[in-house]
Amino acid sequence: MTITVIRALIFYILLTLMMKLMGKRQIGEMQLSELVTTVLLSELAVLPVTDSDIPLFHGVLPLILLSSIEVLVSFLSRKSQKFRVLLNGNPIVLFEQDKFIEQNLTKARFSTEDVEAQVRINGFETMKEVKTVILERTGKMSVIPKGDTQPNQSGE
């Protein structure tokens, strides 16, 4: 039991350091590669913590390798727009000029109701107040108002 506790502490510290090294994004702001790496790291850490027959090094090495790959991918994404687009895609316009863009809604797997809900969350009562809605690479929607229309502050 003591060995399991010590191993858990070691992996907790190691995972915390690895996550800090990879960046400070919140879960909801993670890119796909960051989310995959986070899930893999947590899964890889479980086995050496719970199974004392697995050498500690066999658990640490994959964590270091995956974290290094994530740092490299982040670096390449920052330096190369083509790589960044390949990995994260481009923003998608879902609503523009008073109409939904059905092809983009299908591509993004969103319904008109999803977009309308996001518009209301952003403080607008109707789509008539909105010029454009863009699905950003982060998965969040940007709502751009028409002209001088301002969002209803009580809706936020």
Identify whether residues 81 and 98 lie together within a single domain. no
Identify whether residues 103 and 36 lie together within a single domain. no
Task: Give the pLDDT of residue 155.
Answer: 47
Asked whether residue 43 carries a pLDDT value surpassing 90, the answer given is no
Identify whether residues 54 and 67 lie together within a single domain. yes
Residue indicated by tokens 């899964």 = 43
Q: In angstroms, rounded to a whole number, what is the distance separating the alpha carbons of residues 60 and 63?
A: 5
Task: Give the pLDDT of residue 149.
Answer: 66
148 vs 142 pLDDT, higher one: 142
The overall average pLDDT reported for the chain is 85
Domain of 114, in residue numbers: 90-155
Identify whether residues 32 and 109 lie together within a single domain. no
CATH number at 99 reads 3.30.240.20
Task: Give the pLDDT of residue 9.
Answer: 87
Instruction: Spell out where 81-150 has E strands.
Output: 92-96, 99-100, 130-135, 141-145
Identify whether residues 73 and 24 lie together within a single domain. yes
- The tokens for 4 are 């399991």
Identify whether residues 73 and 104 lie together within a single domain. no
The dihedral over CA atoms of 120, 122, 123, 127, expressed in degrees to the nearest 10, equals -50
For residues 8-28, give the mean pLDDT.
Answer: 75
Task: Give the pLDDT of residue 156.
Answer: 46
Question: Which of residues 28, 53, 87 is at a domain's end?
Answer: 87
Identify whether residues 14 and 82 lie together within a single domain. yes
Q: In angstroms, rounded to a whole number, what is the distance separating the alpha carbons of residues 139 and 135?
A: 6
- The tokens for 86 are 């390949």
Q: What is the pLDDT of residues 47-60, one digit of tens each?
A: 888 888 888 888 88
Identify whether residues 83 and 7 lie together within a single domain. yes
What strands lie across the sheet with 141-145, from one edge to the other? Answer: 99-100, 92-96, 130-135, 141-145
Task: Give the pLDDT of residue 34.
Answer: 77
Identify whether residues 104 and 80 lie together within a single domain. no
**Phi (first) and psi of residue 39, to 5 degrees:** -65, -45
What total of structural domains would you count in the chain?
2
Identify whether residues 98 and 141 lie together within a single domain. yes
Among the listed residues 53, 18, 58, the one whose alpha carbon sits nearest the alpha carbon of residue 38? 18
